[in-house]
Every structure is written in structure tokens, then in C-alpha cells.
Structure 1
Amino acid sequence: MSLLRAKIQDVFNEPGCEKNRGKDAKARKVGCSKPLTPGAAAGGCAFDGAKIVLQPITDVAHLVHGPLACEGNSWDNRGAASSGPTLWRTSFTTDLTELDVVMGQGERKLFKAIREIKEGYGPPAIFVYPTCVTALIGDDIEAVCQRAAEKFGLAVVPVNAPGFVGSKNLGNKLAGEALLEHVIGTAEPDDPGPYDINILGEFNLSGEFWLVKPLLDRLGIRVRACIPGDARYFDIACAHRAQAAMMVCSTALINLARKMEQRWGIPFFEGSFYGITDTSEALRQISQLLVKKGADPEILGRTEALIAEEEAIAWKKLAAYRPRLDGKRVLLNTGGVKSWSVVRALMEIGIDIVGTSVKKSTVEDKERIKQILKDDNHIFEQMAPRELYAMLSERKADILLSGGRTQFIALKAKTPWLDINQERQHPYAGYDGMVELVRQIDIAIHNPIWGQVREPAPWDCQRAVREELPRTKSETVTLHAVQEFSGTTAADFGEC
């Protein structure tokens, strides 16, 4: 437990964060994360955050050491996609019971589970996740993993991030620490090259990184490791031989990017593949970093030629949507990199942003939003469901872009909604992804169902006519009387 405490303190002391960099040594150790209420998970516990970061590593067995519910609640928690192995979609858990806890069988059961996975599936590595229960009863996860690795001849990686230690974001960073300590640098590639890069914090949701990778391939740039989207264990083990890195989500893995730069001299920058302008800028910065590390400067010219070609194609496709979407109002209820990158992307085609949330955004993210929108009134830390419903029902926005948890607020307000978070079904990264995002917004806004659901219901029309009739002694009016009074037929009630 003391080792875990020291690791958490080290993660909070993050000089790579611009906000933290300006603090004194004592204040820096407090960290960037908001203080948590004891017992609250703050949108997800540390175990959940670690699982989010590591589970998309597709050829690894992910073993949860704890009660069955911990694995059930976290399995398949993101819509990441794999181009090959499917082992990551298989759930492994020690299924610890009350009897195991009382009898002290936790460590023995964990060792047995590792052996069964080795014999039944033969993965290159097994990641072991302790949970609140196993951490509290004192199971020595590191010792069991070390013994199993020696016994079975494969990598067994302890991911020491039990849920009670903090928030989901802290779990993200602890997962990065596990990769640094046990995985990265443990293997050497056969063919290192001057155009190798790492992509950090990219989850390949709905396969959207597959829209970006062909652009890098055309430039001769090889993705040595995409962490974690569609990753392989060996690729991550060799990630220390990359020449540069792009960090997509700084709140999750900035500690990984910074420490890889310190240990192996891999420079990094934070960028985004959402939107035409940001995609082009990301390609430029990747090429520039590679040139600084010794690559042939001719790649800069090839990058500009590729950008010009792809931008022309994308703008031509988007031209068809501009008349239909110009002046439409979008409300964003998301966070992180999407809180500013999607804003810029939508404004490029004439869509108005009436508001964007920054609940899960860093200070740097908020500064980018202010520079883009030029107005703090469109930025909100968080919006209560009642306020969100009021804004939508008053037609202050034409569509809501958010995660699945707020879709029902939009539906109740009879407002179009589009999933922009990890559960989405369509890829939105890169040039083609931007076109797809605009297409989906156009489909949602112009769907004829919204005009129909906003019309008064037939029974509401019927009630309105009844209220205009003179009262009878029995205080009741038959449908026949309603029709005679109003001069309508039953068929007319549907068109009230």
C-alpha cells in the first residue's frame, strides 16, 4: 500500500501540465485533479479508468482480481475496435467470494487463474487488475505476478489501481505508469526507422484511427505504437524506439508522454484529429518533429502536398451541406479534447456553437475554447439536467451533441441528438471523419420525425375542442357531439 501511495503522489506531481508547471514545489504535489468526496467515484473509479486505457490492447488477457461485479461493470466499456485479435473481448476474473476473503484464498486463486489463462489462451501477456476488495484485504499482487511470470514464462503485469484510490482520470495515469514500469522498453524492434511515431491517448473508437493511419502511411510515417487503440503488446514494448509522439488526450496520459521524453528523448505535442484544420496541423507538427529528430526535410513538402489534396476533397464534399447547416445552432455537452476540437471543426462550416461543456477539460483545453469562441458566455462547467432541458425545449439549440447519458433529455425536449462520445457508432476523425460528422448532423436535424413529434397529439386536440363546448348537465361530451359542434370528423383529429 505504501508503494501505491508513493506512485499516486508521483502521478499528481505532473510538471508536464502547464497549470501545474506554474506552481511551487509544495502546491504541485497536490495535483491537477479536483478533490473527491469520500466514497464518490466522480464519474468512474480508478479501476475503471485503468481498464479504459489498457483494455483496447487487443492481444492481451485482462484479468480482474476481485468480485464478479467489478469485471461485469467494466467490460467493453468503450467502443474501441480491433483489426485482428479478439482476446481483449474475453472477460477474465478470479470471481472472489466472501468465503475466499475469509479463508485468505485470494492470492492462490489469482495464481491459479493466471495459469489457466496461460494454458488455455497462450497470450503474450496478462494484465492483472486489483480491485477495492483485494487491495483492502492486502493481497500482494506484485509478488504473485512476479512469481507467475517466472513460472510460466510470460509477462504478467500488475495494474495497481484499485477503485478507492481516486477518480477515473487518476486510473488513466496509473495505467500509464504500469506500462512504463513493466512493458515499454522490454523488447527491441527488428526494424527501427527515422519515421516511427507513437500516438498516445487514441482509443480507435468506432475504428476512427483507421481514417487517419492511411494519411500517415502515404507520408511514409509508421505508427510504432498507438496506445491504446488497436494496440499489440509487442508494439507497446518497442514504443521507446519511436522518434516522436502525438498526444491526443492530455488528461489521460500526459505522464506517459512526459516520462517517455525524459527517458528516451521522444518529443511530443498535443494535437487533435477532429476537424479539417486540426488534422492538417497535426500532420504538420508530426513531420516537423521527425525532421528535428533527423528525418529528411523533404517530408515537409510531401506533407503540405497531401494536406492541400485532402483539404480540397473534404471541402468539396462539405460544400453540399453548408446551405443546409449554415446558421444552425449546436450545443455540446462533452469534455476533454472534444470540447475544443469539435467546436473548431463545426465552426469551419458555418455552424453556430451556443455552448460547450468543460467539465472534464484541462485548463489548456479551456484556454483553447476561449480563443476559438471569443466569448466566455458559451462555456459552462456543468449544466444540470433541468437547465439543459429548459434550453433545448425553448429551442435555443437545433441539436445536442453529447454522450448517451443525456440523450433522453434531448428526446424529451423533442430536439435532435447525436452521440459524440465513446459509444458512438460512426468514426469522426480525420478529413473523411469530419465529412461523416457533418453528414450525421444534417441527417439528425432534417429528420422529418422532429416536425411530427412537435405537433400536438390527437388527444390534445380533442381535449381543446371539448373545452370550447358548453357544459351539459352530466358534464360529459361524447365524441359525436364534439364532431357536430366543431364540424370535424374523426380523421381530422390527427391533423389538429
Structure 2
Amino acid sequence: MSLLRAKIQDVFNEPGCEQNRGKDAKARKKGCSKPLTPGAAAGGCAFDGAKIVLQPITDAAHLVHGPLACEGNSWDNRGAASSGPTLWRTSFTTDLTELDVVMGRGERKLFKAIREIKEAYGPPAIFVYPTCVTALIGDDIEAVCQRAAEKFGLAVVPVNAPGFVGSKNLGNRLAGEALLEHVIGTAEPDDPGPYDINILGEFNLSGEFWLVKALLDRLGIRVRACIPGDARYFDIACAHRARAAMMVCSTALINLARKMDERWGIPFFEGSFYGITDTSDALRNIAELLVKQGADPEILGRTEVLIAEEEAIAWKKLAAYRPRLAGKRVLLNTGGVKSWSVVHALMEIGIEIVGTSVKKSTVEDKERIKQILKDDNHIFEQMAARELYAMLSEHKADILLSGGRTQFIALKAKTPWLDINQERQHPYAGYDGMVELVRQIDIVIHNPIWGQVREPAPWDCQPAVREERPSTKSETGTLHAVQEFAGTTADDFGEC
């Protein structure tokens, strides 16, 4: 536990984070996020954050050491895609019970589980995640993993990020520490080259990184390791031989990028693959960084040729949507890199941004938003469900872009909604991804269902006064009433 505490303090004292550098020593120890509310950590605890970063390593087994509910909460928490192995889609847990806790059988049960995974699946590595329960009872995860690695001849990686230590963002960074300590640098590639790069903080949601990788392949740039999207354990183990790195989400793995630069001299920059301009800038920055690291300068010219070709194709496709979407108002309820990258992408085709959230954004993200929007009134730290509903029901936005948690607010307000978070079904990165994003927005906004659901229901309309409609009471009065109503027409109802 003392080692975990020291590691957490080291993550809090992140010199690569501009916000962290601006704090005094006392504030720095508190970390970057608000304390968690007991019992309300689902989807936001350190354990969940570590699992998010490491589970997309597709050929590894991911074993949760704790009660069954912890694995149920974290499994399948991202829409990441794999081009090959599917082992990461299998759930493994030690399923610790109260009796196991009382009898002190946690460590023995963990060792047995590692052995069973090794014999049944033979993965190159097993990542072991302690949870709140196993951390509190003091199971020595690192000792068990070390013993199992020696016994079974495979990498067994302890990921010390139990839920109670902090937020999801802290768990992201602790996962990066686990990779630095136990994985990266443990293998050597057979064919290192001057055009090898790492992509950090890219999750390959809906396979969108494949759209970007196709562009890099055309430039002769090889992705040595994409961490974690569609990753293989051996590729991450060889990641220290890359010549440059691009960081897609700084809040998640900035500590990993900085320490890889310090240990192995891999310079990095932060960029985005959302939007035409940002994608082009990212490709230029990658090429320039490789040239600084010794690559042939001719790659700069080839990069500009590729950018010109792809931009011309993308703008031609987007021209059909511009008159249909120009002036449409979009509200974004997301965070992180999407809070500014998607904003910039949509403004390129004339869409108006009425607001964007910055609840998961860094100081750098917020500065970018201010430069793009030129108005702080369109930036909100957090919007309660009641305020969000009021804004949508008053038709201050034509569409809401957000995650699945707020979709029902939009539907209740009878406002179009599109998922742009991890559960989305369409890739939005790169030039083709930008065209797809605009296409989906056009489809959702112009769906005829919205005109229908906004029409008042017939029973909300006041019936018109009829001059003569005699009514008689009889034993068949109910039947007469039904026949009378069935004979009415739309003209029988007045204005709503």
C-alpha cells in the first residue's frame, strides 16, 4: 500500500501538466479531480480508468481480482475495435466472495486463476487489476504476479489502481505507470526504422484509427504502437524504439508520453484527428518531428501532396451538406479532446456552436476552445440535466452531440441527438471520418420523425363546437358514442 501511495503522489506531481505546475505543494497533493462520492464511483473510479486504458490490448488476458460485480461494471466499457485477437473480449475474474475474504484465500485464488488462464488460452501477458476489496484486505498483488510470471513463463502485470484511490483520470495515468514499469522496453523489435511512431491515447473507437492508419501507411510511416487502440502486447513492449509520438488525449497518458521522452528520447506533441484542418496539422507535425529525429526531409513534400489530395476530396464531398447544415445550431455535452476538436471541425462547414462542455478538459483544451469560439459564454463547466432540458426544449439548439447518458434528455425535449462518445457506431476520425460525422448530423437533423413528434397529439387539441349533435341516453349509449367519434374528421377538431 505504501508503494501505491508513493506512485499516486508521483502521478499527482506531473511536471508535464501545465495546470499541475501552477499549483502549490498542498494543492498538488490533492490531485486533479474532485473526491469521489462513496457509492457513486461507477464509471468513474481509478479501477475503471485503468481498465479503459489497458483492456484494448487485444491479445492479452485481463483478470480482475475482486468481487464479480467489479468485472461486470468495467467489461465492454469502450467501443474499441480489434483487427485480430479477441481474447480481450473474454471476461476473467477471481470472483472473490465474503468467505474468501474472511479465510484469507484471495492470493491463493488469484494464483490459481492465472494458472487456469495460462493453460486454457496461453496469452503473451495477463494484466491483473486489484479492486477496492482486495486492496483493503492487503493482498500482495505484485508478489503473486511476480511468482506467477516466474512459474508460468509469461508476463503477469500488476495494475495497482483500486477504485477508492481516485478518479477515472487517475486510473488512466496509473495504467500508464504499469506499462512503463512492467511492459515498455521489455522486448526489442527486429526491424526498427526512422519512420516509426507511437500514438498515445487513441482507443480506436468504432475502428476510426484505421482511417488514420491508412493515411500514415501511404506516407510510409509505421505505427510502432498505438496505445491502447487495437494494440498487441509485443508492439507495446517495443514502443521504446519509436522515433516520435503523438498524444491524442493528454488527460489520460501525459505521464506516459513525458517519461518515454525522458527515458528513450521520444519527442511528442498533442494533436487531434477530428476535422479536416486538425488532421492535416497532425500529419504535418508527425512528418516534421520525424525529420528532426533524422528521417529524410522528402517526407515533408509527400505529406503536403497527400494533404492536398485528401482535403480536395473531403471538401468536395462536404459541399453537398453545406447548404443543408449552414446555420444549424449544435450543442456539445462531452469533454476532453472532443470539446475543442469537434467544435473546430463543425465550424469549418458553417455549423454554429451554441455551447460546449469542458468538464473533462485540460487547461490547454479550454484555451483552444476560447481561441476557436471567441466567446466564453458558449463554454460551460457542467450543465445539470434540468438546465440541459430547458435549453433543448426552448429550441436553442438544433441537435445535441453527447454520450449515451444524456440521450434521453434530448429525446424528452424532442431534439435530435447523435452519439459522439465511446459507444458510437460510426468512425469520425480523419478526412473520411469528418465526412461521416457531417453525414450523420444531416441524417439525424432532417429525419422526418422530428416533425411528427413535435406535432401536438389529437387529444391535446380542443374539439370544435358543433351546432347540432343530439345525444340520447340508452342502454347502447356507449356504442352510440363510439360510432359518433368514429364518424368525426380532422375538421371536427379546432386549433391546438
Cα distance change, pair 246–468 in 1 and its aligned pair in 2 (3 A): farther
8 Å Cα contact 2:462-2:495 kept in structure 1: no
> Is the CA contact 2:464–2:493 (under 8 Å) kept in the aligned structure 1?
no
- Displaced runs of 4+ in structure 1, greater than 3 A? 22-31, 34-40, 462-488, 490-496
Residue pair 1:128, 1:157 contacting (<8 A) in 2 also: yes
CA-CA distance at 1:73 after TM superposition: 1.0
Deviation at 1:23, TM superposition (A): 3.8
Structure 1 residue 489, shift from structure 2 partner = 2.1
Query: Which of 98-107 and 150-159 deviates more?
Result: 98-107
| Compared CA separation, residues 468 and 350, structure 1 to 2 (3 A) | farther
Measured against aligned partners, the alpha-carbon deviations of 1:84-133 in whole angstroms (never above 9, x if no partner) come to 00000000010111111111111000000000000000000000000111
Contact conserved, 2:463 with 2:493, CA < 8 A, in 1?
A: no
Flag the 1:492–1:339 CA change in 2: closer, same or farther, 3 A: farther
> Contact conserved, 2:135 with 2:162, CA < 8 A, in 1?
yes
Check the 8 A contact 1:465/1:486 in 2, yes or no: no
Distance 1:336 1:212 in 2: 20
Is 2:79 the counterpart of 1:79? yes
Change (3 A) 1:64 1:476: farther
CA distance in 2, matches of 1:73, 1:95: 13
Q: Structure 2: any 5+ residue segments left out of the alignment?
A: none
C-alpha spacing 1:34/1:488, structure 2 compared with 1 (3 Å): same
Residues 158 and 485 from structure 1, CA distance in 2 versus in 1: closer, same or farther, beyond 3 angstroms?
A: closer
Q: Which moved more, 1:239-248 or 1:28-37?
A: 28-37
RMSD of Structure 2 on Structure 1 (CA): 2.8
* Identical aligned residues as a percent: 94
CA shift in 2, pair 1:140/1:454, >3 Å: same
* TM-score, length of structure 1 as denominator length: 0.95
1:116 alignment partner in structure 2:
116
Deviation (angstroms), 1:20: 1.9
Measured after TM superposition, the shift of residue 29 of structure 1 is: 4.0
1:150-173 deviation line (CA, Å, top 9, x unaligned):
000000000011111111111101
CA distance in 2, matches of 1:347, 1:470: 62
Does the 8 A contact of 1:42 with 1:168 survive in 2?
A: no
TM-superposed deviation, 1:44? 1.0
Determine the C-alpha separation between the residues in 1 that align with 2:417 and 2:443.
10
* Cα-to-partner distance string for 1:333-388 (whole Å, 9 max, x where unaligned): 00000000000000000000000011111111111000000000000111111111
Name the CA distance, whole Å, in 2 between partners of 1:423 and 1:140. Answer: 35
Shift of 1:33: 2.8
Secondary structure of 1:361's counterpart equals coil
- Deviation track 1:213-237 (CA, whole Å, cap 9, x = no partner) reads 0100011100000000000000000
The verdict on how the C-alpha distance between 1:475 and 1:247 changes in structure 2, with shifts beyond 3 A counting, is farther
Cα deviation 1:430-468 (Å, max 9, x = unaligned): 000000000000000000000001111122226677999
User: 1:464 is paired with a residue of what secondary structure?
Assistant: coil
- 1:101–1:137 Cα contact (<8 Å) kept: yes
- Please give the per-residue CA displacement for 1:42-90, whole angstroms capped at 9, x wherever unaligned: 8511110000000000000000001111111111110000000000000
1:152 aligns with 2:152: yes
Q: Tell me the SS of whatever aligns to 1:355.
A: strand
Residue by residue, what CA displacement relative to the aligned partner does 1:275-315 show, whole Å, maximum 9, x if unpaired? 00000000000011101110111111111111011000000
Residues 481 and 290 (structure 1), Cα distance of their counterparts in 2 relative to 1, 3 Å cut = same
- Residue pair 1:14, 1:28 contacting (<8 A) in 2 also: no
Check conservation: 2:464, 2:492, Cα contact below 8 A.
no
Aligned partners of 1:94, 1:494: CA distance in 2, in Å? Answer: 66
CA distance in 1, matches of 2:112, 2:468: 77
Report the Cα offset of residue 174 of structure 1. 0.5
- Cα distance, 1:37 vs structure 2: 4.2
Q: Does the 8 A contact of 2:43 with 2:73 survive in 1?
A: no
Contact 2:202 2:228 in 1 (8 A): yes
Change (3 A) 1:84 1:486: closer
Which one is further off, 103-112 or 31-40? 31-40
Question: Match for residue 271 of structure 1?
Answer: 271
Contact 1:36–1:42 (8 Å) recurs in 2: no
Q: 1:104 to 1:298 in 2, by over 3 A?
A: same
CA distance in 2 between partners of 1:210 and 1:171 (Å) = 26
TM-score, length-normalised on structure 2?
Answer: 0.95
Structure 2 residue matching 1:370: 3-state secondary structure: helix
Distance 1:346 1:475 in 2: 66
**Structure-2 change in CA distance of 1:79 and 1:465 (3 Å):** farther
Q: For residues 402 and 475 of structure 2, what CA distance do their matches in structure 1 show?
A: 48
Contact map agreement 2:333 2:400 (CA 8 A) in 1: yes
The total of aligned residue pairs comes to: 496
Q: Which residue of 2 aligns with 1:221?
A: 221
Q: Which digits, 9 at most, give the CA deviation of each residue in 1:184-213, with x for residues without a partner?
A: 000000000000000000000000001100
